[in-house]
């Protein structure tokens, strides 16, 4: 059936690549920040512990490689939640790994070793500090101060036996000479990952690619094995595109938050990232069952006090709904052929069935006769063309798609008159 689709994502006809994700994207895995950066949204509620545990299990089922379990420096409640999540990982024998976010100060890092000792679960430290000129100016820092602060914190963590990822906030607006100096100092101090941050949502996909390639050059200079992370925000609406570009350029951990929640307009949406990795043929995620992705997205939104917009990809109420006559007719024709694959793709770039959803055909002012007949058949209501046309005529008089209750009432009224 794939012969029915020509995929321009694979390139022009004379340059088409083999199916699968472009470049190095196939090596990238997902790190979820919902329970740390996500709940830093000014509108967010810090979820209850049982809600965090439920989300942890959903992330593990979806194949999310790593979860940021919190910010130990934020207080006793956060440390308690971090420890409880670690204990859940151990007791339930989950595959997901855990990390914490810490400022580059010893007092933030000190509790981490104690939590590891009590739970037996490794915790990677993501040690962060601002690096851009604008941040330096506002904070009255210079690069020497940032470098010393970073090296002291990383060295302390390494002496405690902790794995460290070095996070330069606002990396996408930082000077290359500053980044080279900070990256090399961090690597010498023992950091084994660099996290490139688009903290203010400034980057474009071209910028993300350029920054990852620059960081790769610095890593090569160091002579050490150092991984690269990409952490992006969505201020320009480019977070997902940037994450995919960073992965294609060689970043091996791509950060996101469920439903794109996070500070200001939010972070890369983990759920949308997983949808695209699966559809791009990622060697791990393409094989991973994703039926619980909608449940994860809605549960995270609910637990943090957010609402998923109706037009949100995959998890939005309208993601697979249509009341348009031409669209509905095509879907119905595909369904009549008994071909779920065809019906899922005739008017959708995301196949609903692969994510536990189905196509929904409803009735409204833009509908055709096929919509009405489909609705009546689905509800076990036998009718002739005249009755279906009467229902459609009434639907055409409305200004919006009719709800289930409204359709039931309309059909009941017309049947009573017949």
pLDDT in tens, 294-325: 999 999 999 999 999 999 999 999 999 999 99
pLDDT of residue 22: 65
Give the C-alpha separation, 75 to 73, whole Å: 6
Instruction: Count CA atoms within 13 Å of residue 302 on its CB side.
Output: 11
Q: How confident is the model at residue 10 (pLDDT cuts 50, 70, 90)?
A: confident
Q: How confident is the model at residue 417 (pLDDT cuts 50, 70, 90)?
A: confident
pTM confidence score: 0.94
pLDDT of residue 14: 78
Q: Return the closest-CA partner of residue 149 out of 161, 233, 230, 135.
A: 135
Give the C-alpha separation, 124 to 303, whole Å: 25
C-alpha torsion sign, points 397, 399, 403, 406? negative
> Would you mind telling me the total number of residues written for the chain in this entry?
418
Residue ranges of the domains in the chain?
21-303, 321-417
DSSP 95-158: --EEEEEEESSHHHHHHHHHHHHHH---EEEEEEEE-SHHHHHHHT--HHHHHHHHHHHHHHHH
Q: How confident is the model at residue 20 (pLDDT cuts 50, 70, 90)?
A: low
- Span 380-403, pLDDT tens digits: 998 899 999 999 999 999 999 999
- The 8-class DSSP code of residue 6 comes to -
The values of phi and psi at residue 100, to 5°, are -125, 155
pLDDT surpassing 70 at residue 180:
yes
| Most confident stretch, 19-23, 83-87, 329-333 | 83-87
pLDDT surpassing 80 at residue 23:
no
Query: 391, exposed or middle or buried, with CB in 10 Å at 0-12, 13-18, 19+?
Result: buried
Give the C-alpha separation, 170 to 143, whole Å: 14
The predicted model gives 37-62 an average pLDDT of 97
Does residue 93 or residue 417 have the better pLDDT? 93
The residues pairing with 73 across neighbouring beta strands, listed in sequence order, are: none
Domain 21-303 has CATH 3.20.20.70: yes
Q: Where are the beta strands (DSSP E) in 273-328?
A: 321-322
């Amino acid at each position: 059936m794939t012969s029915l689709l020509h995929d321009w994502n694979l390139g022009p006809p004379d340059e088409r690549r083999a199916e699968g994700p472009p470049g190095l994207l196939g090596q990238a895995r997902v790190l979820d920040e919902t329970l740390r950066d996500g709940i830093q949204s000014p509108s967010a509620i810090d979820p209850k512990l049982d809600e965090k545990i439920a989300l942890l299990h959903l992330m593990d089922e979806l194949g999310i490689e790593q979860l940021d379990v919190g910010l130990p420096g934020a207080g006793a409640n956060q440390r308690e939640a971090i420890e409880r999540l670690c204990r859940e990982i151990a007791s339930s024998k989950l595959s997901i790994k855990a990390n914490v976010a810490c400022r580059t100060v010893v007092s933030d890092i000190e509790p981490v070793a104690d939590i590891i000792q009590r739970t037996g679960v490794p915790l990677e430290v993501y040690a962060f500090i601002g690096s851009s000129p604008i941040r330096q100016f506002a904070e009255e820092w210079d690069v020497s101060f940032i470098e010393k602060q970073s090296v002291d914190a990383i060295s302390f963590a390494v002496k405690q036996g902790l794995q460290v990822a070095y996070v330069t906030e606002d990396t996408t607006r930082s000077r290359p000479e500053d980044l080279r100096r900070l990256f090399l100092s961090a690597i010498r101090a023992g950091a084994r990952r660099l996290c490139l941050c688009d903290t203010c949502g400034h980057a474009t996909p071209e910028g993300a690619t350029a920054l990852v390639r620059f960081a790769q050059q610095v890593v090569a200079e160091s002579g050490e094995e150092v991984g690269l992370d990409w952490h992006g925000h969505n201020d320009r609406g480019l977070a997902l595109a940037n994450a995919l570009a960073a992965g294609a350029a060689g970043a091996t951990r791509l950060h996101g938050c469920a439903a794109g929640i996070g500070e200001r307009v939010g972070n890369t949406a983990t759920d949308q990232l997983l949808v695209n990795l699966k559809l791009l043929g990622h060697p791990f995620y393409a094989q991973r069952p994703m039926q619980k992705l909608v449940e994860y997205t809605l549960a995270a939104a609910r637990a943090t006090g957010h609402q998923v917009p109706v037009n949100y990809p995959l998890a939005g109420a309208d993601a697979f709904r249509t009341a348009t006559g031409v669209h509905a007719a095509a879907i119905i024709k595909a369904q009549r052929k008994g071909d779920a694959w065809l019906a899922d793709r005739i008017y959708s770039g995301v196949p609903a069935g692969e994510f536990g959803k189905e196509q929904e055909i409803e009735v409204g002012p833009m509908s055709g006769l096929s919509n009405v007949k489909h609705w009546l058949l689905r509800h076990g209501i036998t009718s002739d063309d005249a009755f279906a046309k009467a229902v459609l005529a009434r639907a055409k008089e409305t200004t919006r798609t009719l709800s289930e209750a409204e359709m039931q009432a309309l059909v009941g009224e017309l049947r009573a008159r017949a």
